[in-house]
């Protein structure tokens, strides 16, 4: 089936710090970011994340991460693949990703 | 009148990163932190902050900041005075306060 529309993205340079913090202040999104950080660019498709939420909620979390400049997505075949915008997010918010990634599993 | 009970505090060392991020991902609390950062320790009393919320909401925001290891409060006379836990929060989450403080007024 694929997805209905090309996802909207926000570049980290256009993200207020408050939006970035709110995106990361959620256990599901932290988990998504951590899994993405452990994978290569475009390696993970949307259905492969180990998070305890349904499809609609997952779709919402992806949208929040895109609007915070953390996630890039593109359609590939019948699915959608993901990339953590590590370099450009780091340039905008130096050290922030490192802070959340260093505490693997300690986010709750 | 004063306050009913001595406020509970959490040391930054005991704060999960997710709690710290959530505490800072709010415009009112960001404003409180920024005003505290611009003042000396114990210089600001609770009624002196320029935030558009009532007493109950303000009290809640102070509690969130205390539980995130960002704020220390103590009673003084009939009021309560405040201190940003800058040094110990910085030791726990290096660079995080700097990120939110550098964007004065750009938090929304």
Cβ separation of B25 and A25 shorter than 8 Å? yes
pLDDT tens by residue, A8-65: 999 999 999 999 999 999 999 999 999 999 999 999 999 999 999 999 999 999 999 9
- The ipTM, to two decimals, is 0.85
CA-CA distance, B94 to A103, in Å (whole number)? 13
Distances from the Cα of A40 to the Cα of A44, A55, A66, angstroms: 8, 23, 17
Topology given in CATH for the domain delimited by A12-99: Arc Repressor Mutant, subunit A (1.10.10)
For chain A, say whether B96 makes contact (Cβ under 8 Å).
yes
For chain B, say whether A108 makes contact (Cβ under 8 Å).
yes
Terminal-residue alpha carbon distance, chain A? 36
């Amino acid at each position: 089936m694929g997805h209905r529309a090309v996802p909207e993205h926000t570049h980290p340079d256009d993200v207020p710090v408050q939006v970035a913090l709110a995106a990361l202040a959620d256990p599901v999104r932290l988990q998504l970011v951590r899994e993405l950080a452990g994978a290569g660019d475009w390696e993970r498709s949307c259905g492969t994340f180990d998070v305890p939420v349904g499809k609609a909620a997952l779709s919402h979390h992806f949208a929040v991460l895109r609007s915070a400049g953390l996630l890039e997505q593109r359609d590939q075949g019948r699915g959608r693949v993901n990339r953590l915008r590590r370099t450009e997010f780091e340039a905008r918010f130096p050290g922030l990703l490192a802070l959340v990634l260093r505490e693997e599993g300690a986010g709750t």
